[in-house]
Chains A and B, each alone.
Chain A
């Protein structure tokens, strides 16, 4: 308990300081220490993608990432999307519009994966093909939807993108 390490990072746009054990996983810091329960523990072994968050623009499994490695980085969780006035971002709107949510336990991770990928694509002015979108979501397991509507939602995020 004595060897706590202080880390500083930006969490959902705010400077955050936390003292953590060196072995603490990012998902446990988010859920247990910071009470951000939107990041979901699906398998805790890097297989299901339910715990996906965005670090410096990359979608990562927070169950496979040590909290101390977030030091100095920009971390975005599902709670960091939207705003008080506009609670839903485009990805979330598209997920609802396309019926991509059933039980919803995978949804946070799916949304963060789509968000990270679409931010990168849009920054480089690209519109991915449906196959590329599928590939980008390969690490997110879902037992309810059969993925079709998730892929539809991911595709619709680029609807306003000039092709």
Chain B
């Protein structure tokens, strides 16, 4: 797993993807930091964190699009799948590389919190909980993007499809409001990514949310492994 992880991190930085991802992530988070904290003159970061959800929906597909699609296109996948490593090592090696880059991107909002703390009081408990929620949200989203990347051999297709998938997850609440069957409402409410995330930005930390996001990440990574297993057996 280490070898795949290191190669993937290297590939992020030799291609321009890491720089583009980090730059765009930081530009948007910087703008929302200014708009929700600096301009109104508050140390309440909940506005910033609420906006971060949508930034993730837009940017995580860029992070995950080439993970597997490029391997398939360049035929390097064959080298991976015939190497003495398990499918789990391959999938998680790549997944963690994307997750580490994402975590790197989260450092900037952390710097914003430090900046705020020099001007006023920052509720560190809430801020840390928010970071944890944002990290877990990204972990779940990256797993979704990784699966989509494994299903196509075109980076752009992978990016667009991942975006659609993440957007659909974001829209669960909107869809839910159009449905008036209480049974389905209940299920969709439980599946809502945004509702859980929003609750944390408001200061309502819930362990079930942590478990929810981690489960989503594991389930989608498991699906990715299954995709490769199925392809081998087809």
Do A and B come together as binding partners?
no
B residues whose Cβ falls under 8 Å from a Cβ of A:
none
